[in-house]
Structures are given as C-alpha cells and as structure tokens.
Structure 1
Amino acid sequence: MTHRQRLSTILIALITALGLAAAAPGTATAAPVTQAAAGILNIPITGATEDAGTFAGTFTPESFAARDGGLVAVGTLTGTLTDAAGDTVGTVSQPVAMPVAVAQATCRILDLTLGPLHLDLLGLVVDLNRVHLTITAESAPGNLLGNLLCAITHLLDQNPGAGALAALLNALLRLLN
C-alpha cells in the first residue's frame, strides 16, 4: 500500500467516523465515503423534496473550517433534482459548507473487578465469586446524564478544538491532492 493510499484510507475513516450531517434538518442523508478513481473524496448525498421529488448528487470536501465553535466541511455540492415523475427539474453545482457532526460516543466511567469475597455478617454468610462491574456513558443528543458524565470524564483531556481539528483535516486533504 502506497503512502498516498494509506493517507486516503485514514482520511476516509476519519470523515466517516465524524459523520457528515446535512446542512439543514430534512430527509437528506450522507452515505459512506467513497473514493473516486482520481483520488478525490466524493460523498453521495440523497434527499426527498416536499412534492415527492428527489435529489441525488455528491459532496466533495475541499477544506475544513471552524465556524461558531463547530467544525464544517467546505466543498462543492453537485447533483440533479428530479420531480415525482422522474423528470429532471434542474442541476446544481455550488460551494457549500456542511456541519460535521461527531458520531455517538461512549465513555468508560468505571471498570471494577472484585475477587472472591467471603462475608460473615453476624451469622449470615455471603460468598461471592468474582464480580465485574462496568459502567459506560453514551454521549448523544438527549442523553443528559451520559453527556454530563462523558464531559466530566474528559474534563482534563487535551482534546483539540474545532480549529485544531480543521487544521488537521486540511493537512490530510493537502497530502491527498
């Protein structure tokens, strides 16, 4: 595997892990990242209109940026809009900025393993073999306790902000091109 192929694989895995989200709420979806023969990343985008029409196209990221404390992918959206009968209504090829959403994550809060225990409590004898307790928190929208515990768990971590993450992704894109 060449150096370029390795970097392409890393970038594809990173973008897929972050999960590109649609710019506005609706029925648009981003399919898994694929790599074109020319080495440019193309992310298939599909959606439905209110009048039963469809949109099919691709998003090609050209850079990443930090905006309003979040990470966005800046690139070109190209595609075709069709009506309910399947007739082409129009085509689009324009620059867009799409927010990059972090996929659901879990945080390990506690992993406790106790060996065999023998308790004699005033004549009540309790024998336990091995006990393994694992507590994890799921960080996602609506998971208030999970979000809080993950934030507390990673409070002192040196996680890069949106600007540092955008710089890293831009460096990877430059290496691929």
Structure 2
Amino acid sequence: MTPRQRLSMIAVMLLAAVGLAATATGTGAAAAPHTRAPAAPPPAAIAVPSAPITGTFTDAAGGTGTFAGGFTPSGFAAQDGALVATGTLTGTLTDSTGATIGTVDETISTPAAVAQATCRILDLTLGPLHLDLLGLVVDLNQVHLTINAVSGPGNLLGNLLCAIAGLLDPLPSADALAALLNLLLALLGRI
C-alpha cells in the first residue's frame, strides 16, 4: 500500500466514522424596499457531528452509574510522535437510581487511533488449465485467489502480515496525519 493510498484510506475512515451532516443556519432576509435584488441568504454551514461516547462508573451508593454524551473534534495535532484529537466532550452523568448527578462540557485532547484496516497480501489470477497426467485429464477453469490480512486487536497473524507487507512503505508522521485531518475539518467547515 502506498503512502497516498494509506492517507486516503485514513481520510475515508475518518469521514465514515465522523459522518457528514448539513444543517441550515438561517433563511434569507427580505429585501429592503430601496434595493434592486433581495439579499442573498446566508450560506449553509456544515456541522461536524459528534461521535457518541458512553460509559459506566461506580456511584456514591456503590451502584453502576452511566455516562452518555458525545465528542466533537475541532482539530488534530502531534504530541510526542502520536496523533491526538482535540475537541469538546459533552454529556450527562446518571447514578444507579436514574438521577442526573452532573453534566460535562469540556475541551479535551485524546489519542486518535487509526481504525482497523486490511492489507492485500496476495491477488493471484490463474487462467484456465488443462493437465494430462498419464491418462488422467484435469481441466480447471479460471481461478482468482485473493488473500487479505485484517489488522486489529487480537488479530496476531493479520497484524504480523500487514506489518511485513508494509515494511518498505514510508509511514506518514503524526504531524502529516494531523495536517491532513485539520485540512479535512477545514473543508467540512467550507462546504
């Protein structure tokens, strides 16, 4: 996989994970009586949707409380060679009785991980084969064999084969990934 393909895959995964949602910010204003043309409506803004965040905690009574909210990314950066996402975490804390015990509305930075990926190990196409082995005739039609390795937690062989397959590919730095992701966020704001 080339660096350009890897970056394209990361960008597509980010957009798929985050999603796109357009919301209108207003309607056109009526024209003033002395103007020739009506005022142009304000452009529609693209809102970066929030990714859902849920979790549990032990409340003061020893029961299991819940957190439900979302994270809206506002930018990406490289810290100590790792990619981090900065954004707003909002949500509500509810105790085991169902009572709301607090809300969260904070700007946070969190490590950003690349989603599970596959890498092509082998793509082999064999044309039709005709074998005559001492009177035993074997005819085989076209065969297309594709082997993909899936990387991710618990996929030992997939992780190993993807790492070996990409040994000679230059990996983009966290700075390069942060720049690309910030560009995508800026483009979302302009659409």
Determine if the TM-score, normalized by the shorter chain, exceeds 0.5: yes
* Pairing of 1:141-156 with structure 2 (within 5 A): 141-156=153-168
Q: Distance in 1 between matches of 2:82 and 2:12?
A: 20
Aligned with residue 65 of structure 2, among 27, 32, 53: 53
Deviation at 1:35, TM superposition (A): 4.1
Q: Distance in 2 between matches of 1:106 and 1:128?
A: 30
Equivalent residue number for residue 106 of structure 1: 118
- The verdict on how the C-alpha distance between 1:36 and 1:133 changes in structure 2, with shifts beyond 3 A counting, is closer
Q: Which is greater in Rg?
A: 2
- Amino acid corresponding to residue 118 of structure 2 in structure 1: T
* Pairing of 1:69-148 with structure 2 (within 5 A): 69-148=81-160
- Amino acid corresponding to residue 125 of structure 1 in structure 2: V
What secondary structure sits across from 1:103 in the alignment? Answer: coil
- Please identify, of 101-110 and 147-156, the stretch whose mean Cα deviation from structure 2 is larger: 147-156
RMSD (Å), alpha carbons: 2.7
Q: Distance in 2 between matches of 1:44 and 1:34?
A: 14
Q: Distance in 2 between matches of 1:154 and 1:68?
A: 23
Runs of 4+ in 1 over 6 A off after TM superposition: none
Q: Which runs of 5+ in 2 are unaligned?
A: 1-10, 24-44
Q: Distance in 1 between matches of 2:141 and 2:184?
A: 51
TM-score (norm 2): 0.67
What secondary structure sits across from 2:114 in the alignment? Answer: coil
| Identity among equivalent pairs (%) | 66
CA contact (8 A) 1:54 1:83 kept: yes
- Please identify, of 147-156 and 107-116, the stretch whose mean Cα deviation from structure 2 is larger: 147-156
Q: Distance in 2 between matches of 1:36 and 1:114?
A: 48
Q: Distance in 2 between matches of 1:59 and 1:36?
A: 18
- Amino acid corresponding to residue 153 of structure 1 in structure 2: A
**What whole-Å deviation, never above 9, does each CA across 1:152-177 have from its counterpart, x for those lacking one?**
22233344222211111122323417
- Amino acid corresponding to residue 183 of structure 2 in structure 1: A
Q: Distance in 2 between matches of 1:16 and 1:45?
A: 17
- Amino acid corresponding to residue 110 of structure 1 in structure 2: L
CA contact (8 A) 1:33 1:44 kept: no
**What whole-Å deviation, never above 9, does each CA across 1:52-89 have from its counterpart, x for those lacking one?**
21112221212112234332211121221111122111
Q: Which runs of 5+ in 1 are unaligned?
A: 1-11, 20-31
TM-score (norm 1): 0.72
- Please identify, of 150-159 and 90-99, the stretch whose mean Cα deviation from structure 2 is larger: 150-159
Deviation at 1:121, TM superposition (A): 2.5
Deviation at 1:125, TM superposition (A): 2.8
Equivalent residue number for residue 42 of structure 2: none
**May I ask how many residue pairs the two structures share in their alignment?**
154
